[in-house]
Chain A
């Protein structure tokens, strides 16, 4: 595997922003802030890694925020209305996410909808289902009942590494949230799949040139459906982590989250024109966005300015992606001509 200059640029930019904020933003370098960064943005990183798969096939998944809400409400209903034990809820939640993602994929493959249109439609549909099945409205009193199932709330656990290593008294290390470790797990699995499996190579081939992939005998339909299912599972896991953190779910959960996920993926160097990208980029992209939000908030910069900054970074990332694409095309032209 070669390390692309885009990845290096991202790492450098991440390091630079961390350094700048550590110096200038009060308490940015404090253990509790690092905990906030790890605990508060791991689910965005997971969403972004999932989102990378549809983008790698030259598609897009706009429905991830709605899937987060759908999974959240399924967990809410199962736990608070039907009192299903958590060890059943967790796999069910992931299965619901996978199913919702697979439906996206099937709409694209079998109904031949544009990914943008298909997932825009399911965004509205899934969000509608959330309102329809919302236990908050079906059963009185649940709006003020927290979910207490240990299997679910246990996901929001912090490990005090300093104390475990016996150096807690010398240095104050940030506690590591379980959600961060889960994020690392997802990273290892998905990066492994992308790099070392036949499926991973097929995804990159399909994204690079769909016609060539089809002629080479790849089952492009199945690959596409699986890619959207992966995005769905990741959204399901993110939903699970959010519910664990909030001890409840709301109809509006995950609203607009697809934009954060897509932004993190694109900033992470996943090319919108398909076929190029890794899992490292989106994950780091999510934490970069998180660090910028936290840092600017600590510097007491207005949130509207923060949105402008985020937008500019996204523009720069997309512009860079475009530049690389043009350069690739030019090189190809030069080679053939």
Chain B
């Protein structure tokens, strides 16, 4: 190595060192090393949120899977957040997989969002991610499926008590006797248990003579519900009622009932209250469903989030987790017209 080469090598080393320091400084800045300095707050500490360059707030919704319910929530959340003018909002898909949701939560935490909305795939499985978010000062709001880890708030459809009311209305329509089948979600999901137990307890309470003769999973899916209903009906030709744990599955049963000419004889109930179900009720096919205003549920969650974020409320400021049960009606042909177009999703 000549003297010249050595100098060149030294230069190169210095250059590399500079690069490293430079990028380290950049990463430091990016990762919020300087976040303690609050340029947005004035000398007196009065927040200048309405100044020319307001500080943007990021929020995100991690959904369970693509579905009419989560898109209604997303729409409601988006509506409220858009009017705040300072919130960037994005909706991400958990693809029904816990590990995907966990990875998305990680990314959102790195991204520095202020609020995460999530419908967890599993109550326990999401808990470590919520813990991590709370450590990073992020408020988490759960929708429909709660977590075992306490967090800012939980906004849920009234699964258990709603299902009890479904049992009551359904039993009334059946004349208080007969056999019913439940077309259910796959096991291991809390909503499924709440919606099933509520229904069974409701039958016990209001219509003890009605008998549940089948309880089978159709994976939340309309097509699968058609097949399941076919087999269940073949085994129980004297079936008088069907309860689909969500509207898709109830509509699957309606499809087959229509085919077999059973529409007048069978009492069929769903759960959720999406537009397709309400229209089916109007057409005289589906008997009824538990209707919750999904758009409103999203709006309420977003309102909570906005108040928390703009009020500077931190996740460690709560004595305990807030709960909000959504109001609902049991929609049947008698009252479905009271659900106005702007309330449908």
Contacts and interface: CB of A to CB of B under 8 A. Distances in A.
Interface stretch (A28-36, A90-98, A112-120): A28-36
A171 interface: yes
A297 to B, nearest CB: 5
A136 B188 contact: yes
Contacts of B95: 303
A250 B107 contact: no
Contact of B188 (A40, A143, A156, A294): A143
Contact of A253 (B26, B90, B98): B98
Contacts of A250: 98, 121-122, 125, 188
A294 to B, nearest CB: 6
A272 to B, nearest CB: 25
A31 B124 contact: no
A137 B188 contact: yes
Contacts of A172: 24, 27-28, 31, 33
B110 A36 contact: yes
A131 B188 CA distance: 9
Interface residues of A, number: 40
Interface in A20-73: 26-27, 29-33, 36, 39-40
A40 B106 contact: yes
A144 B147 CA distance: 8
A14 interface: no
Contacts of B236: none
Nearest to B136: A32
A36 B124 contact: no
Given A143-B190, A144-B123, A247 B128 contact: yes
Given A29-B30, A136-B188, A251-B186, A143 B110 contact: no
Contacts of B111: 26-27, 298
B188 A27 contact: no
Contacts of A293: 103
A70 to B, nearest CB: 15
Given A36-B110, A246-B125, A27 B31 contact: yes
A300 B108 CA distance: 11
Contacts of B24: 171-172
B310 interface: no
Contacts of B110: 27, 30, 32-33, 36, 298
B249 to A, nearest CB: 18
B24 to A, nearest CB: 5
Contacts of B127: 146, 247
Contacts of A32: 31, 109-110
Interface string B204-239: 000000000000000000000000000000000000
Contacts of B178: none
Interface in B18-34: 23-24, 26-28, 30-31, 33
Interface string B113-148: 000000001111101100000000000000000001
25 contacts: A26-B30, A26-B111, A27-B30, A27-B111, A33-B110, A36-B106, A39-B106, A40-B103, A143-B122, A143-B124, A143-B190, A144-B190, A145-B124, A172-B31, A246-B128, A247-B125, A247-B127, A247-B128, A248-B125, A250-B98, A251-B187, A251-B188, A252-B98, A252-B188, A255-B97
Interface of B: 23-24, 26-28, 30-31, 33, 90, 92-93, 95-99, 102-104, 106-107, 109-112, 121-125, 127-128, 148, 186-188, 190, 193
Q: Which 10 A/B pairs are nearest by Cβ-Cβ distance?
A: A248-B124, A246-B125, A30-B31, A36-B106, A32-B110, A33-B110, A251-B188, A171-B24, A40-B103, A146-B124
